[in-house]
Structure 1
Amino acid sequence: MRSIGRFELRTLIGQGSMGQVWQSWDTQLRRPAAIKIINPERLVEQANTISPEAIAARFCREAELGARFIHSGLPMLYDAELNGSPSDLYMVWELIVGQDLAQILKEAGGRLPINRALSFTAQITDTLACIHSDPVIHRDLKPSNIMVTEARKTKLLDFGVAAVYGSDYPRLTQDGQLLGTVAYMAPEQFIERGVIVPQTDLYALGCLLYEMFTGQPPFTGAPASVMDAHRTRIPTPARELRPDIPPDVDDLLMSLLAKETADRPASAHLVAERLAPYLTLPDLAQLATDNEGNQAADDPAALPAAPELLPAAIRIVQAQALFDAGHFGEALPIYNMLGRELAAPDDNPRQAAECRSKAAFCHLRLGNLPKALDEYTDLAGELIQETPPEDRLLLEVRSRVGLLLAANNRPGEALATFATIYPLLFQHLGQDDSLTNEVRTVFNRLNRLGVNIPRPTPAPMQRAAT
C-alpha cells in the first residue's frame, strides 16, 4: 500500500488532467481523508507543453485557495505539503461521502425533480457568492465537480483552474490555453485573453441547471461545434422541453445563459434572491403555468413575505464593513439597494450617490469592468449637474471613468478625461493623494505611448438662406 507521510493511500476515487484524489487513512489522527496529488501521468505527458514548475504552481495555488475559505459548500483543507519536487506535493482534504452530480443525473435518467434541481442550484449559488466575494472565479463548474452528500448538501470541488484577481496572484494561464469543460464554458472563455468575471461562473451555473431540468447541457456535440454554439446560438428555452418549470425560473435560467456578461445577473447573491421564493413553496407545480391563469402566482399571499429590511443607516455600516474587508460580492447587492432607496429628493441623494459609487467599485474589483464603467459614467453625468467640479466624490467618479476607459482599451477617451480631471486632482486633493497618483501614472503611460486625444466631430455647415 502506497503512503505519503503519515497517510495511507487506499483507493483512487477521482482523477483529472492535473490531479489524483485518493481515499486515505491518517495513521496518526486515525481518521479518513482525501489526499490530492499531482497526476504522475500529467507530468510525463505534458512535459513538452507545460513545465512541471507551472503544474506545481497551479497545484499550490489550489491549496492556498482551499485554505482561504470556510463555507458549508466547500470541503475543508486539513493540511498540505507545498515544498519539494512536483511529485512530492500533496493536499489533505476532508473526505466527502456521497456521489457527484454527474452520477446522480445518470442514475435519475438525466432529469431531476424541479424542487431538487433548484435546491442544488441554490446551494451552489451560495457557495459561488462566497468565493466571488474574495474575488475568485472557479472556471470549471460541472456536474463531476459537485459532490452531493447523503443529506443532499452540495460541496464544490477543485480550484485547479480558478482565476484569482489581485497583485498577490500572478497569471498562470498560458496564451491560447483553454481551461474548463467545453459543455459548461461561457463564451468569453473561448476568446484569447477574454475577461473572466463572476458572471463566467454564473453561465456555467445556468448550464448545470439546464441539464438538471432537461437531461442535457444547452449544447451538445463535437467540441468545436459546442464552442461555436456557446458564442452564437440561443439555447432552446428549458420550459419548451419541460413545461412544469415555473416561468420566472425559466426567465432566470435564460438570463444566466446570456452571451454577454453584462446581460447576466450582476452577482450570485441576486441569483439566490430570485431562487429564494421557490425553495419555500411545497408544490412548484402550482407555478408551472403562465401567470394569466395561475391564481397562486397572482395572489401575494401565495408567495413568502419579503423579510423586513434593517434601517438604511445600519445597512450602510454593514456594507462598509464588507467593503473594507474586501467582500465586494456581498457588499454589492446592499449598495445597489441603498442607491435606489435613498435617491429620492426628500431622502438622501448624496448618500445614494456614495452608495452607487461603492457599488461601481465593487463591480470593478469583481472584474466586471464594462459594468463598472457604465455605472461610473452614469453617476458622473448626474453629479456634474449638481455638484461643483472640485467635489471629492465627483473627482473620484470622473477619475474612475478615465481609468476604466484605459482598461477597456479606449486610450484616446481616457486621455481626454485625464486632461480635464488631473489639474483638479492636483489642486484640490494634492500631488501625493492616492487617487492623484493613480491617475498620473496611467496618464503618463498613455502620453508615452503617443495616444492622441480624439477631436470632436465638427457640426455640418449650413448654407445661409437667400
Structure 2
Amino acid sequence: MRRSLGRYELTRELGRGGMGVVWAANDREGGREVAVKLLAPPAGSADFSSLERRFLREARLTSRLDHPGIPAVHDHGSHEGELYLVMDLIPGRALDGVLKSEGPLPVARAADITRRTADVLAHAHAQSVVHRDLKPSNLMITPTGETKVLDFGVAAALEPQPGETRFTAANATPGTVMYMPPEQAVGQTVPASDLYSLGCVLYELLTGAPPFASGSHFFLYHQHAHDPVPPLAERRHGVPAGLRALVEALLEKKPEDRPASAAEVALRAATWAPPAPARPTNPVIPHPRLAEIDRLRRSGHPARALQEYGDLMAGARLGRADVLAARAGHALCAGTIGRTREALDELKSVLAEQRSLLGPDDPGVLDTRYEIAVLLARTGDRHAAGELLKRLADDEDRILPGTDSRSGRARALLDRLRRIA
C-alpha cells in the first residue's frame, strides 16, 4: 500500500469503516502529526468528478466549524483518484471501544458525553451543518474526558444524487443503520435527525446496546420507522425518570416530536452530568460596538438594536466570544419585540456554545441562563422557568460577589413566580 499522499507521509492505520480509512501521518511541510482520512470510490465508478465536487464543497463548509469538540480540518482535496481530509490527530479512544471494554456507563458519565455531544451539534446546526452519521465510533473520548465529534460533512458529501452510484459500501444509505432516524432512511435529513442518532447513542451508553441492533438492513429500517423502542427501564434499572424521558423524546419517530434543538438536549442532559470545569481564559477586549448596541437596546430601541446587531455580525470580523455576545443581544431584541419563541431557541443555542467556550461559571453564561428563564416565564412555562432559576440562584450565590448588581436576581425572580402561582 502507498505510504505517502503528497506532503503527508502515512505512518500507521488508525481505523477503517464503510466510508474510508484513517491514517496517522507526518505533515512534512507543517512539521506536525495529523490524521488523514482517505475515501476511495468503487472501482470503475463513472461519477467520480461529481462525488469529488460535492465532497470538496462539504469539506470547505465543515472546515469553517469552530468548536473545541470538533477536530480542526487543515486540508482537503483529491490525489490519484482518492479523496482526503487532513485534520487534528485526537488522542484517546473511540466511544465504541470504550463501550466494548467497559459496558454500560454510569449515569453521570453517559449524561456528560450526551451533553458535550449536544453542545457540538448545537454549534454545527447553527451553521446549517447536519452530521448525518452520529454513532459511538464517531465520538472520541480524550484522556482528559473531553468528547470530540468526528466526520462532520462526510455523510452529506457522499449522499448520492439521482442516477449516481452510491459511494458507500454495499450501496448502503450514508449513515449507519443502527443509529439512523426513520426520515434519513428515505432520503430526508434535518437537524432533528442528529438528535435521533444521539438518542440511540445515549440508549447504548445506558444499556450497552442501541435500541435496535440485530437483523438485516431492511429489518432495522422497519424497526426504526414503526416499532416502539424497547423500554429502557427493562434493560437497566435505576436510570432517573427525567433521563429516561429525554431518551424517549430523542427517539420519537417524527422529527417534529423530538426536542426543539440540540441546545435544549444539552440543557436537559446537564441535569445529570457532573459540573463542567471552568476553563481558564485570557482577558479579551470585546468589540466596542457590542457595548454601544447593548446601550441602545436597553434605552428602549430594540428594533434598531436588532438591525445593528445583524449588521455587526454580517460585516465585522468578530472573535467567537463576540459572535456569541452579538447573537445573545440579537435574541434579546427579538424577544422584546414579541418574537419570544425565536429568542428562546437562539439563547439556548448560544448557551451551549458559551458553556463550551467560556466555562460554566462565566458571568456571561449566568446572564444567558437568566434570560432563558425570563423568556420561559413569559411564555407561561413557569415550572421550567422555576427549575432553571433554582439552580441558577445557587450558582449566582456561589459565583457572583455580593457587590455585583446581578447578585440575587434569580432568587428574586423565583420568589415573584412563586407568589404569582
- Structure 1 length-normalised TM: 0.58
Structure 2 unaligned spans of 5+: 167-172, 277-293, 315-319, 348-421
Task: Report what 1:259 is aligned to.
Answer: 253
Q: How does 1:422-437 map to 2 (within 5 A)?
A: none
For residues 287-340 of structure 1, give each alpha carbon's deviation from its aligned partner in whole angstroms, at most 9, with x where no partner exists.
Answer: xxxxxxxxxxxxxxxxxxxxxxx999569968984798599999999999988x
Residue 97 (structure 1) aligned with residue 91 (structure 2) = yes
Task: Report what 1:20 is aligned to.
Answer: 21
Contact 1:136/1:163 (<8 A) preserved: no
Match for residue 144 of structure 1 among 128, 133, 137: 137
Change (3 A) 1:146 1:173: farther
Q: How does 1:40-439 map to 2 (within 5 A)?
A: 42-44=41-43, 47-48=44-45, 51-82=47-78, 86-87=81-82, 89-109=83-103, 111-163=104-156, 173-174=161-162, 178-191=173-186, 193-194=187-188, 196-222=189-215, 223-280=217-274, 313=297, 321=309, 325=313, 351-352=337-338, 354-356=339-341
Larger Cα Rg: Structure 1 or Structure 2?
1
Secondary structure of the structure 1 residue equivalent to 2:224: helix
CA distance in 2, matches of 1:311, 1:259: 45
Following superposition, the deviation at residue 273 of structure 1 comes to: 1.3
Q: How does 1:435-446 map to 2 (within 5 A)?
A: none
CA distance in 2, matches of 1:118, 1:319: 38
Change (3 A) 1:278 1:360: closer
Contact 1:21/1:37 (<8 A) preserved: yes
Following superposition, the deviation at residue 361 of structure 1 comes to: 11
CA distance in 2, matches of 1:72, 1:17: 26
Following superposition, the deviation at residue 76 of structure 1 comes to: 1.0
Contact 2:202/2:247 (<8 A) preserved: yes
**More displaced 10-residue stretch of structure 1: 20-29 or 229-238:** 20-29
Contact 1:115/1:279 (<8 A) preserved: yes
Task: Report what 2:33 is aligned to.
Answer: 32
What's the C-alpha RMSD, in Å, of the aligned pairs? 3.8
Following superposition, the deviation at residue 257 of structure 1 comes to: 0.3
Letter in 1 for 2:22: V
CA distance in 1, matches of 2:240, 2:328: 25
Task: Report what 1:379 is aligned to.
Answer: none
CA distance in 2, matches of 1:114, 1:146: 18
For residues 339-390 of structure 1, give each alpha carbon's deviation from its aligned partner in whole angstroms, at most 9, with x where no partner exists.
Answer: 8xx6xxxxx6xx21x445778999xxxxxxxxxxxxxxxxxxxxxxxxxxxx
Secondary structure of the structure 2 residue equivalent to 1:244: coil
Contact 1:96/1:149 (<8 A) preserved: yes
Following superposition, the deviation at residue 58 of structure 1 comes to: 3.8
Following superposition, the deviation at residue 53 of structure 1 comes to: 1.8
Secondary structure of the structure 1 residue equivalent to 2:25: strand
CA distance in 1, matches of 2:344, 2:326: 8
CA distance in 1, matches of 2:81, 2:230: 45
Letter in 2 for 1:102: D
Change (3 A) 1:311 1:224: farther
Q: Which structure is higher in RCO with an 8 Å CA cutoff and minimum separation 6?
A: 2
Change (3 A) 1:356 1:208: closer
* % identical aligned pairs: 36
Change (3 A) 1:127 1:90: same
Contact 1:114/1:245 (<8 A) preserved: yes
CA distance in 1, matches of 2:311, 2:227: 38
Secondary structure of the structure 1 residue equivalent to 2:71: coil
For residues 42-88 of structure 1, give each alpha carbon's deviation from its aligned partner in whole angstroms, at most 9, with x where no partner exists.
Answer: 431xx35x622233234313421332111111111122335x6533x
Instruction: Give the count of matched residue pairs.
Output: 310
Secondary structure of the structure 2 residue equivalent to 1:207: helix
Letter in 1 for 2:149: L
For residues 426-459 of structure 1, give each alpha carbon's deviation from its aligned partner in whole angstroms, at most 9, with x where no partner exists.
Answer: xxxxxxxxxxxxxxxxxxxxxxxxxxxxxxxxxx
CA distance in 1, matches of 2:117, 2:296: 29
Change (3 A) 1:333 1:202: farther
Letter in 1 for 2:61: L
CA distance in 2, matches of 1:322, 1:16: 42
CA distance in 1, matches of 2:15, 2:51: 18
Contact 2:155/2:175 (<8 A) preserved: no
Contact 1:231/1:259 (<8 A) preserved: yes
Change (3 A) 1:263 1:333: farther
Change (3 A) 1:217 1:312: farther
Letter in 1 for 2:67: H
Contact 1:58/1:160 (<8 A) preserved: no
Change (3 A) 1:52 1:259: same
Task: Report what 2:12 is aligned to.
Answer: 11
Contact 2:211/2:229 (<8 A) preserved: yes
Contact 1:129/1:330 (<8 A) preserved: no
Contact 1:255/1:264 (<8 A) preserved: yes
Contact 2:111/2:270 (<8 A) preserved: no
CA distance in 2, matches of 1:334, 1:86: 48
Secondary structure of the structure 2 residue equivalent to 1:68: coil
Contact 1:70/1:76 (<8 A) preserved: yes
User: Structure 1: which 4+ aligned runs deviate by more than 6 Å?
Assistant: 326-339, 357-362
For residues 119-139 of structure 1, give each alpha carbon's deviation from its aligned partner in whole angstroms, at most 9, with x where no partner exists.
Answer: 111111000001100111110
Following superposition, the deviation at residue 13 of structure 1 comes to: 1.3
Following superposition, the deviation at residue 30 of structure 1 comes to: 2.9
